[in-house]
């Protein structure tokens, strides 16, 4: 069981220690991600559920650019930036706040693999969502940690990253769901204030809490789990319905 209150308190401690750096950093990530909005469905573009706060600030860029251009930008620029955001959150936990380094992290650390892993993660979630909404949501939670895993090890293959995330989330999907629900009030307040509360509080607070969630799960794992996890489970096939509810 994950201690949700402790996660939030640890996130607040990081947030308060580096308030303006985190507000500015996450705002830039959100604005760039919004500008690059890929134009595909919410589940396909962001890994599912409501755990990607940049959606609050996403702009509709279809009027200005053809959909194909927007989609390509979302893949080849947006996905590496997403890894940078995960890296930023993890580094902030260690008091190593370096936005410039985080911004370039996904572009300078095995760029091609970063794109491949996140694209396939999003694709698999999208394919599962075509069956029914619930399997897509379940898969989104199973693959919730893929971004953090790749941020820490950009050389991780997509098979290893997806399987590792799925294994780590076993027994913790409900923890993640309840954690997301606990932010509903903040999301509504952000909407009411036209995103101002989101910019100056909710977005960095949520992202750091999510990083604390990842760190808490990793801390529970034996040292030899990572290598064995990546080889013992078959990769899910969206054509099979039993994998979505494990």
Distance of CA 125 to the CA centre of its chain: 13
Tens of pLDDT, residue by residue over 226-236, are 444 444 455 66
Residue 73: its pLDDT value, please?
87
The per-residue b/e assignment along 193-219, b for 16 or more CB within 10 angstroms, e otherwise, is eeeebbbbbbbbbbbbbbbbbbbbbee
What is the longest distance spanned by two Cα atoms in the chain? 50
- Tell me the per-residue pLDDT of 93-128, one tens digit each, with 9 for 90 and over: 998 888 889 999 999 999 999 999 999 999 999 999
Q: Is the pLDDT of residue 64 over 90?
A: no
For 172-190, write each residue's pLDDT tens digit: 999 999 999 999 999 999 9
pLDDT of residue 234: 52
Exposure of 79 in the CB half-sphere (CA atoms within 13 A): 28
Q: Kindly report the pTM of this predicted structure.
A: 0.82
| Cα–Cα distance for residue pair 192/27, rounded to 1 Å | 18
Query: For the chain, what are the domain ranges?
Result: 4-245
Rg of the chain on CA atoms, in Å: 17
């Amino acid at each position: 069981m994950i201690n949700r209150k402790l996660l939030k308190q640890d996130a607040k401690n990081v947030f308060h220690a580096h308030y303006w750096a985190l507000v500015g950093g996450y705002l830039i990530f959100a604005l760039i991600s919004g500008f690059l909005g890929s134009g595909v469905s919410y589940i396909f573009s962001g890994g599912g559920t409501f755990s990607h706060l940049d959606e609050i600030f996403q702009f509709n860029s279809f009027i200005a650019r053809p959909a194909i251009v927007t989609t390509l930008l979302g893949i080849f620029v947006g996905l590496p930036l997403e890894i940078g955001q995960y890296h930023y959150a993890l580094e902030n936990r260690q008091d190593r706040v370096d936005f410039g380094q985080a911004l370039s992290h996904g572009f300078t650390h095995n760029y091609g693999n970063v794109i491949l892993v996140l694209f396939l993660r999003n694709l698999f979630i999208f394919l599962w969502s075509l069956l029914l909404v619930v399997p897509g949501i379940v898969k989104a939670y199973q693959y919730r940690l893929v971004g953090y895993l790749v941020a820490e090890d950009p050389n991780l293959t997509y098979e290893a990253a997806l399987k590792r995330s799925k294994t780590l989330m076993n027994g913790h999907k409900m923890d993640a769901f309840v954690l997301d629900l606990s932010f509903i009030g903040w999301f509504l307040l952000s909407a009411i204030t036209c995103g101002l509360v989101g910019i100056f509080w909710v977005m960095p607070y949520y992202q750091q809490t999510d990083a604390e969630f990842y760190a808490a799960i990793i801390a529970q794992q034996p040292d030899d789990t990572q290598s064995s996890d990546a080889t013992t489970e078959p990769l899910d096939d969206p054509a099979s319905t039993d994998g979505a509810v494990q």
